[in-house]
Structure 1
Amino acid sequence: MTHVHPVRVYYEDTDLAGIVYYANYLKFIERGRSEWVRARGVDQTQVKADHGIVFAVRRVVADYLRPAVFDDLLEVTTELRELGGSRIELWQTVRRGEDTLFTAAVTLVCLGDNGRAARLPPQVRAALTG
């Protein structure tokens, strides 16, 4: 299942050249991941309160393919690739219409209150895969 989240490029997202500053793509895909989790029925604040677990980015492998510019309407897509005991592998893209501008393979880990990897609670696992 692919989740799609719209993002509008604002002036504040661009650099001196008038294109989206490279680090802002990471913000865009973060929003997409947050909305993907929410769309699956997972309340991250509640998961932290109930289980002491948070999701943290462990790795991002990104490709910047084409620039986005001010006022572009983009779509951030998020797909689950693999779910381990405490690891979540996602594939994310940023598109403008039919053009793919940015891709990223993202690895998340579940961390407990002690900062160490923790197993994904069964009900969260079911929501993310269901």
Structure 2
Amino acid sequence: MTHRFPIRVYYEDTDMAGIVYYANYLRYIERARSDWVREMGIDQNAMKDDDGVVFAVRRVEADYLSPAHFDDELVIETNTINVTAARLVMDQVVKRGEEELFHAVVTIVCIGESGQPVRLPANIRLMLH
């Protein structure tokens, strides 16, 4: 199932050349993942409070394909590639219309209160399969 998250490029998102500053694509895909998790019914605050577990980005593999500009309407498409007991791998694409501007493969893990990796909670693994 593809999750779609719309976003508009604001002036503050751009660099001196008038294009989206490269680090902002990471912000965009983070917002899309957070929205996707919320729509699935996963309460990250409760996960932290009840289980002492939070999501953390372990790895991002990113390709910048074409620039976005001020006032562009973008859509971030998020898909699950793989779910194991310890990690979640997501495919995320930023598009303007049908044109792919940015593509990332993001590995998410859970960490406990000590900062050490822990297994993804079983109920979340079930939701993601």
TM-score normalised over the length of structure 1: 0.97
Q: In the alignment, is the contact (CA less than 8 A) between 1:42 and 1:127 conserved in 2?
A: no
> Aligned residue for 1:29?
29
> Aligned residue for 1:68?
68
1:23-67 CA-to-partner distances (Å, cap 9, x unmatched) read 000000000110111111101111111111100001000000000
AA aligned to 1:68 is A
AA aligned to 1:115 is G
The alignment status of 1:20 with 2:32, answered yes or no, reads no
SS for the counterpart of 1:24 is helix
Q: Number of matched residues? A: 129
How many Å apart are 1:84 and its aligned residue?
A: 1.1
Distance 1:73 1:97 in 2: 8
Distance 1:61 1:122 in 2: 26
How many Å apart are 1:70 and its aligned residue?
A: 0.4
**Identical-pair percentage:** 57
Aligned positions of 1:1-130 closer than 5 A: 1-129=1-129
What runs of 5+ residues in structure 2 fail to find an aligned partner?
none
How many Å apart are 1:127 and its aligned residue?
A: 2.2
Distance 1:60 1:40 in 2: 22
SS for the counterpart of 1:77 is strand
Distance 2:45 2:73 in 1: 29
SS for the counterpart of 1:69 is coil
AA aligned to 2:124 is V
How many Å apart are 1:125 and its aligned residue?
A: 1.5
Distance 1:97 1:4 in 2: 12
What runs of 5+ residues in structure 1 fail to find an aligned partner?
none
How many Å apart are 1:123 and its aligned residue?
A: 1.2
RMSD: 0.7
Which 4+ stretches in 1 moved above 6 angstroms? none
Q: In the alignment, is the contact (CA less than 8 A) between 2:85 and 2:125 conserved in 1?
A: no
How many Å apart are 1:86 and its aligned residue?
A: 1.6
